[in-house]
C-alpha cells in the first residue's frame, strides 16, 4: 500500500503553528485546549440504499472479489443498509425470487399527495440467502452491519407490528450475525413520503419495543440501537427539529445513538456554483449546533451523535456533479466539520448506486472514493483545535496523523483541506519559536483533477490514481516540500500535509 514508504524526520517543529497566506490567510492552534475531540476508527462509514435490495442487487454482486476488495479499502467502517425503501422491506427466510407482499391497510396504500410516490410502491422481499450474502460481504470487508428495520408494518391501532422484524432478528441470531439496528427512515417525513404518519411519541414507544425484543437475544442485548434518523434541521421548516426533540423527550432510553440525515441541496436542481459556495458548506455548522442544542434541552447530551445518512445532494445526488471531482470539496469539508464538532460517525450515502456513489456501477472508483481512502489512511483520531481565519474558499482542518503512519518517534500532525479559488494559495508555516530551521520539510499530497472540476480522474501530486491489477491501492504520490517560505496549494486542489512537530500532543 502506498502509505508505508515514509521519510524519517530527524528534526522537529515547535508545539503549534500558524499558517499565513498573503495578508489574510491564517490557521492557528489553541495553546490551551489543543485536542478538542477524538473520532472513532469507523468515523467515516458507508451506506447501501435499501433500493438496491428492492432492485434485486442489480450490478451489486456481493461475492465479486473486486467489490469486496474496494470496500475493504475504506474499512474499518459501519455499513448502514437503509433508506426510504427500508419501510417497504419484508424479510422472507426462504424463497428464490422477489414478490410483492401487500399487508398494509388501505389508508397507507392510497396516496393523493403529489409528492408521496413511494406510498404506491409495493412491498418487496429480502430473502435469507441474500441477507447472509450481504453480511458475508461486510465480514470480508471488515465492516460492521447497521440494518434499518421496517417501521411501517403497523397494526390498526398504529402500534408497530414487530413480528417480521423479530423473524429477521431471530434468523440473524441463529446464523451468528453481528448487527446493529435502526427502525424507520426519516419518520418526520412519512406524511410527505408515504402519506402516513407515526408521531414522535409513538415512534419512541416502538423503539422501546425493539429494545425489549433485542434483549431476548444475548447476541443483540448490547447491539447499538440508532435513531430516529430525522431529516436535516432547516431554518424555514422546523418539523424535523420538533420531531427530534419530541422523540428524545419521550424516548431518551430508547436509543443508544442519536441519528439524523443531512444533505445540502436538491440533486435535480444543483448547480456547479453550489458545490463551491462556502455559505452552503457552512450550513452544516449550524445544523450540528441545532442538534446539540436539542440534546441539551432533552438531557441526552451524553449520547453519541451520527450523521447516519449524508452526501452532497438528496434525490440520489446530482447527475452532473456528485460523481465528479468538484464534489470532493464538500465531502472533505463535511468530514472536517463533523470531526471538529464532535460527531461520532458520518455515514456516506452511498458506497454503491446513485450519482453520489463512491463506487460506480462498473466498479470504478469515483473521486470521493479516493478522498475517503486518503482520509482513512492519513487522518488520525485526535482532532486538533485549529482556527481558520482565512479566505472562506481556503478551508483547513487538523488532526494528529494516523497511527498507521506514526510508527516513528516524531510527533506528526495531518493538515487537510482545500483551495476552491482559481488562484494558488500560499500558506506560510510559522512556529511559535523563532529558531525553526528554514530547511523544515513536510510531506505533501496534492490531490487534483488536472484542471477539470467536472472530471472523474484524480491525481495525487501529478500521478493518476488507479487500482492495481489485483485491485490493491496504488502508491499515492507525494512530494517533500519546504515549509518556508510557504507551502503552495494549487488552484482547485485538495491537500493532505504531514507536518512534524516538537509537541508531544500527537505521540
Q: What is the distance between the alpha carbons of residues 372 and 375, in angstroms, rounded to a whole number? A: 5
Residue 366 lies in a domain: no
Q: Is residue 418 part of a domain?
A: yes
Burial letters for 145-176: b for 16+ Cβ neighbours within 10 Å, e otherwise? bbbbbbbbbbeeeeebebebbbebbebbbeee
Closest CA to 394 of 145, 14, 24, 37: 24
The three-state secondary structure class of 135 is: helix
Note whether 321 and 261 are same-domain residues. Answer: yes
**Total of domains in the chain:** 2
Give the pLDDT score at 111: 37
Residue 340 three-state SS? helix
Are 29 and 65 found together in one domain?
no
Same domain assignment for residues 332 and 388: no
Last residue of a domain, one of 353, 368, 395: 353
Closest CA to 388 of 340, 455, 457, 443: 340
pLDDT in tens, 365-375: 999 999 999 99
Q: What is the pLDDT of residue 429?
A: 65
Residue 35 C-alpha cell reads as 485536542
> Is the same domain home to 105 and 242?
yes
Residues 191 and 282 in one domain: yes
- Residue 338 sits in the same domain as residue 454: no
Do residue 154 and residue 49 come from a single domain? yes
Are the C-beta atoms of 50 and 84 separated by less than 8 Å? yes
Q: What is the pLDDT along the chain (507 residues), one digit of tens a residue?
A: 455 444 333 333 333 344 434 444 655 666 667 888 999 999 999 999 999 999 999 999 999 999 999 999 999 999 999 999 999 999 999 865 544 343 333 333 333 333 445 666 789 999 999 999 999 999 999 999 999 999 999 999 999 999 999 999 999 999 999 999 999 999 999 998 999 999 999 999 999 999 999 999 999 999 999 999 999 999 888 999 999 999 999 988 999 999 999 999 999 999 999 999 999 999 999 999 999 999 999 999 999 999 999 999 999 999 999 999 999 999 999 999 999 999 999 999 999 999 999 999 999 999 999 999 999 999 999 999 877 766 899 999 999 999 877 666 677 889 999 999 999 998 876 542 333 455 578 899 999 998 899 999 999 999 999 999 999 999 999 999 987 777 889 999 999 999 887 777 787
Are 309 and 401 in the same domain?
Answer: no
The enclosing domain of 332 has a CATH number of 3.20.20.80
User: What pLDDT, on the 0 to 100 scale, is given for residue 24?
Assistant: 40
- Non-local (6+) Cβ contacts of 76 within 8 A are 41, 42, 142, 143, 144
Whether residues 235 and 298 fall in one domain: yes
Q: Is residue 270 part of a domain?
A: yes
Q: For cell 457552512, what's the residue?
A: 282
If asked whether residues 432 and 308 sit together in one domain, one would say no
* Beta strands 441-448; 493-501: pairing state: antiparallel
Give residue 482's domain range.
Answer: 17-34+384-501
Task: Give the model's pLDDT for residue 449.
Answer: 95
* 72 found inside a domain: yes
Contacts of 194 (CB under 8 A, 6+ apart): 87, 108, 111, 116, 118, 119, 152
Decide if 346 contacts 389 (C-beta within 8 A).
Answer: no
Alpha helices in 282-422 (DSSP H): 283-297, 327-340, 367-378
Per-residue model confidence as pLDDT tens digits over 440-461: 788 999 999 988 999 999 999 9
* Statement to judge: residues 29 and 63 lie in one domain: no
- Domain-embedded: residue 367: no
Domain presence at residue 176: yes
Residue 8 lies in a domain: no
Q: What is the pLDDT of residues 479-503, one digit of tens each?
A: 999 877 778 899 999 999 998 877 7
121 lies in the same domain as 163: yes
Position 22 scores a pLDDT of: 45
Specify the CATH number for the domain of residue 399: 2.60.40.1180
- Asked if residue 412 is part of any domain, the answer here is yes
Amino acid at each position: 500500500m502506498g502509505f508505508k514508504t515514509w521519510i524519517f524526520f530527524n528534526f522537529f517543529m515547535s508545539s503549534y503553528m500558524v499558517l499565513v497566506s498573503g495578508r489574510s490567510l491564517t490557521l492557528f492552534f489553541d495553546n490551551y485546549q489543543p485536542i478538542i475531540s477524538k473520532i472513532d476508527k469507523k468515523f467515516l462509514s458507508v451506506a447501501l440504499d435499501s433500493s438496491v435490495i428492492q432492485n434485486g442487487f442489480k450490478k451489486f454482486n456481493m461475492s465479486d472479489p473486486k467489490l469486496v476488495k474496494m470496500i475493504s479499502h475504506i474499512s474499518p467502517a459501519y455499513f448502514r443498509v437503509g433508506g426510504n425503501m427500508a419501510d417497504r422491506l419484508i424479510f422472507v427466510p426462504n424463497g428464490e425470487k422477489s414478490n410483492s407482499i401487500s399487508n398494509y391497510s388501505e389508508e397507507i396504500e392510497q396516496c393523493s399527495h403529489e409528492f408521496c410516490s413511494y406510498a404506491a410502491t409495493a412491498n418487496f422481499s429480502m430473502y435469507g440467502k441474500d441477507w447472509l450474502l450481504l453480511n458475508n460481504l461486510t465480514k470480508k470487508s471488515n465492516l460492521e452491519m447497521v440494518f434499518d428495520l421496517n417501521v411501517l408494518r403497523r397494526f390498526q391501532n398504529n402500534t408497530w407490528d414487530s413480528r417480521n422484524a423479530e423473524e429477521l432478528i431471530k434468523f440473524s441470531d441463529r446464523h451468528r450475525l453481528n448487527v446493529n439496528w435502526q427502525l424507520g427512515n426519516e419518520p418526520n417525513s412519512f406524511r410527505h413520503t408515504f402519506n402516513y404518519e407515526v408521531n414522535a411519541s409513538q415512534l419512541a414507544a416502538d423503539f422501546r419495543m425493539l429494545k425489549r425484543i433485542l434483549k431476548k437475544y444475548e447476541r443483540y442485548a448490547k447491539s447499538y440501537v440508532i435513531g430516529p434518523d430525522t431529516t436535516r434541521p432547516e431554518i424555514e421548516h422546523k418539523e424535523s427539529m420538533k420531531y427530534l426533540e419530541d422523540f428524545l423527550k419521550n424516548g431518551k432510553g430508547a436509543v443508544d445513538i442519536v441519528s439524523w440525515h443531512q444533505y445540502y441541496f436538491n440533486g435535480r436542481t444543483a448547480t456547479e456554483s453550489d458545490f463551491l459556495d462556502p455559505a452552503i458548506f457552512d450550513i452544516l455548522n449550524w445544523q450540528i449546533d441545532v442538534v446539540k442544542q436539542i440534546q441539551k434541552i432533552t438531557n441526552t447530551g451524553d449520547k453519541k451523535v451520527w450523521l447516519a445518512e449524508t452526501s452532497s445532494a438528496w434525490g440520489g445526488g446530482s447527475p452532473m456533479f456528485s460523481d465528479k471531482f468538484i464534489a470532493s470539496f464538500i465531502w472533505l469539508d463535511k468530514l472536517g466539520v463533523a470531526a471538529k464538532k464532535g460527531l461520532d460517525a458520518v455515514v456516506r450515502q452511498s458506497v454503491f448506486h446513485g450519482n453520489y456513489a463512491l463506487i460506480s456501477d462498473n466498479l470504478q472508483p469515483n473521486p470521493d472514493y479516493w478522498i475517503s481512502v486518503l482520509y482513512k489512511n492519513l487522518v488520525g483520531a485526535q482532532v486538533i483545535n485549529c482556527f481558520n481565519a482565512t479566505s472562506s474558499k481556503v478551508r483547513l482542518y487538523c488532526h494528529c496523523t494516523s497511527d498507521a503512519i506514526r510508527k516513528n518517534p516524531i510527533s506528526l500532525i495531518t493538515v487537510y483541506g482545500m483551495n476552491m479559488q482559481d488562484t494558488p494559495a500560499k500558506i506560510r508555516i510559522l512556529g511559535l519559536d523563532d529558531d525553526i530551521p528554514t530547511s523544515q520539510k513536510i510531506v505533501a499530497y496534492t490531490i487534483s483533477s488536472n484542471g477539470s472540476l467536472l472530471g472523474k480522474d484524480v491525481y495525487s501530486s501529478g500521478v493518476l490514481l488507479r487500482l492495481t491489477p489485483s485491485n490493491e491501492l496504488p502508491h499515492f504520490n507525494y512530494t517533500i516540500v519546504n515549509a518556508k517560505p510557504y507551502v503552495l496549494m494549487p488552484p482547485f486542489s485538495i491537500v493532505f500535509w504531514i507536518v512534524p512537530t516538537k509537541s508531544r500532543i500527537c505521540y
